[in-house]
């Protein structure tokens, strides 16, 4: 249990460092900014208690908000994704909550399969980007720019997460 906590903390700090030091400065055409902190939440095991997922998501969001100067927006979006993560896994990923399989293993490409995993990641990132950018603009006057931000960031974030997961699977 302590080892799992240390592993989770290390993964969180690594993703946070990459996000804050590198990816926050990437703005493709002024619109697409990769947001990969959601990857940490999407890798939470299905069998983990809901309160731990929510606590990790909120803590991750608060840390991101502190470094990115986005007061409460990432904390709200990651907490929402943590709330719906088990439902996304059962609906999109094809994982049953009552599986006799080890429910403490995170959802990976090897466990779910390539295409269900990509659907799961894409939907999770899309939900996170929609909520994040709607909270950021808090207006429907520039809906075109907001939609471009959402689509661009979703595509870029999903691609980066897919690359990270592919590298992790090979190690």
Domain residue limits, the chain = 2-170
Looking at residue 100, its pLDDT comes to: 47
pLDDT higher than threshold 70 for residue 134: yes
Looking at residue 28, its pLDDT comes to: 85
CATH 3.30.70, domain 2-170, yes or no: no
C-beta separation of 128 from 78 below 8 A: yes
**What is the rounded CA–CA span in Å between residue 105 and residue 92?**
17
pLDDT higher than threshold 70 for residue 123: yes
Q: How far is CA 5 from CA 11, 44, 122, in A?
A: 10, 12, 26
pTM comes to: 0.88
């Amino acid at each position: 249990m302590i080892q799992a906590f240390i592993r989770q903390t290390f993964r969180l700090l690594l993703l946070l460092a990459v996000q804050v030091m590198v990816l926050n400065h990437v703005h493709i055409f002024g619109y697409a900014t990769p947001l990969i902190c959601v990857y940490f939440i999407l890798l939470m095991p299905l069998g983990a208690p809901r309160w731990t997922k929510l606590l990790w998501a909120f803590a991750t969001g608060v840390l991101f908000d502190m470094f990115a100067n986005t007061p409460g927006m990432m904390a709200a979006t990651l907490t929402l994704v943590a709330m719906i993560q088990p439902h996304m896994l059962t609906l999109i990923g094809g994982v049953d909550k009552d599986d006799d399989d080890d429910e403490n293993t995170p959802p990976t490409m090897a466990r779910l399969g390539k295409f269900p995993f990509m659907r799961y990641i894409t939907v999770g990132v899309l939900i996170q980007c929609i909520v994040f950018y709607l909270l950021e603009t808090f207006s429907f006057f520039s809906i075109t720019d907001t939609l471009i931000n959402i689509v661009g960031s979703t595509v870029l974030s999903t691609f980066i997460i897919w690359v990270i997961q592919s590298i992790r699977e090979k190690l």
